């Protein structure tokens, strides 16, 4: 009888160990690292005539459709290199997918955006990143000042270690943009995407650009006016692409 009990105990230990190992493997398989969000496109500058949730034009906050509330982003004006940190106030506001965000007048003024072409790059910043740790205090101080001062009352410091005080400015009056669909490892895959777009979206101005040996980019355009750009963007958006980007042509 004692021998039988010993055998049962050994079998129980063995199967318990197997169950633990399987659980650990399961945890490893299910782990998904956070993807870093990046997008370039047009922002919508907030005004009271927009039928959306209120956004204080003095604040350093934005509205976004995909990023979590209270997450931090670095917003850059690609034309002059100026950038700052902003906080996502909400991701539940409805607005056109053509715009990658809704920003305040204070942000637009600080970045010296062209209000007719408010072209910006938005990058999600991890809360654990050294960049956030370094700039968080400055952000909070400037946010307090911004909330009390009139829109034109103060000048917000540019939070960017990568550029000097003498910011390089690029002047260009020519409207020329392309829509980036995606980058592909194989040229054949990029060609299949091109054929799909022709068939499903009825768009003919599709180009495949070889960026490197194994990097092929599918682009729509170029577009020389905002109406044709938005029309093609809306057509592509109906095909449920996750992160369409608008790229400014040199």
Question: In whole angstroms, how large is the CA radius of gyration of the chain?
Answer: 25
- Rounded Cα gap, residues 116 and 139, in angstroms: 27
Q: What is the model's pLDDT at position 50? A: 85
DSSP tag of 80: T
| CATH of region 38-148 | 2.40.40.10
Pairing of β 206-212 and β 215-223: antiparallel
Q: Where are the domains of the chain?
A: 38-148, 177-248
Walk across the sheet containing 177-184 and list its strands. Answer: 206-212, 215-223, 177-184, 245-248
Report the alpha-carbon distance of residue 146 to residue 150 in Å, rounded: 8
| Helix, coil or strand: residue 234 | helix
Rounded-to-integer distance, Cα 155 and Cα 6, Å: 79
pLDDT one digit per residue (tens) for the chain, 250 residues: 544 554 444 444 444 444 433 334 333 323 333 468 899 999 999 988 887 877 888 899 999 999 999 999 999 999 999 999 999 999 999 899 999 999 999 999 999 999 999 999 999 997 665 555 455 555 555 555 455 544 443 333 444 444 334 444 444 568 999 999 999 999 999 999 999 999 898 888 999 999 999 999 999 999 999 999 999 999 998 887 878 999 999 8
CA dist 40 and 219 (Å) reads 14
Coil, strand, or helix at residue 187? helix
What 8-state DSSP symbol labels residue 156?
Answer: P
Alpha helices, H only, the chain: 2-30, 105-110, 130-148, 187-201, 226-237
The CATH class of the 177-248 domain is alpha beta
DSSP state of 186: S
**Per-residue pLDDT, 108:** 96
Per DSSP bridges, beta strands 72-76 and 83-90 are: antiparallel
Cα–Cα dist 88/53, whole Å: 13
Residues 75 and 83 sit within 8 Å (Cβ to Cβ): yes
Cβ atoms of 122 and 37 closer than 8 Å: yes
Compute the C-alpha angle 109/43/170, nearest 5°: 60
Supply the pLDDT for residue 142: 55
């Amino acid at each position: 009888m004692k021998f039988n009990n010993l055998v049962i105990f050994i079998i129980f230990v063995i199967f318990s160990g197997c169950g633990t190992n399987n659980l650990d493997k399961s945890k490893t398989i299910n782990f998904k690292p956070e993807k870093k969000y990046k997008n370039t496109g047009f922002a919508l500058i907030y005004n009271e005539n927009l039928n959306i949730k209120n956004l204080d034009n003095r604040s350093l906050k934005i509205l976004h459709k995909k990023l979590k509330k209270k997450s931090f982003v670095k917003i850059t004006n690609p034309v002059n290199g100026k950038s700052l940190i902003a906080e996502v106030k909400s991701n539940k506001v409805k607005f056109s997918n053509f715009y990658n965000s809704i920003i305040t007048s204070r942000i637009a003024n600080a970045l010296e955006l062209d209000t007719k072409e408010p072209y910006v790059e938005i990058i999600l910043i991890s809360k654990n990143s050294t960049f956030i740790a370094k700039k968080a205090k400055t952000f909070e101080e400037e946010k307090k000042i911004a909330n009390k001062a009139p829109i034109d009352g103060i000048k917000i410091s540019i939070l960017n270690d990568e550029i000097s005080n003498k910011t390089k400015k690029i002047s260009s009056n020519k409207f020329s943009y392309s829509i980036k669909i995606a980058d592909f490892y194989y040229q054949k895959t990029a060609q299949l995407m091109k054929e799909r777009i022709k068939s499903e979206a009825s768009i003919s101005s599709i180009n495949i650009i070889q960026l490197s040996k194994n990097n092929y980019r599918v682009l729509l355009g170029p577009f020389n006016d905002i109406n044709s750009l938005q029309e093609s963007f809306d057509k592509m958006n109906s095909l449920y692409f996750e992160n369409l980007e608008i790229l400014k042509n040199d």
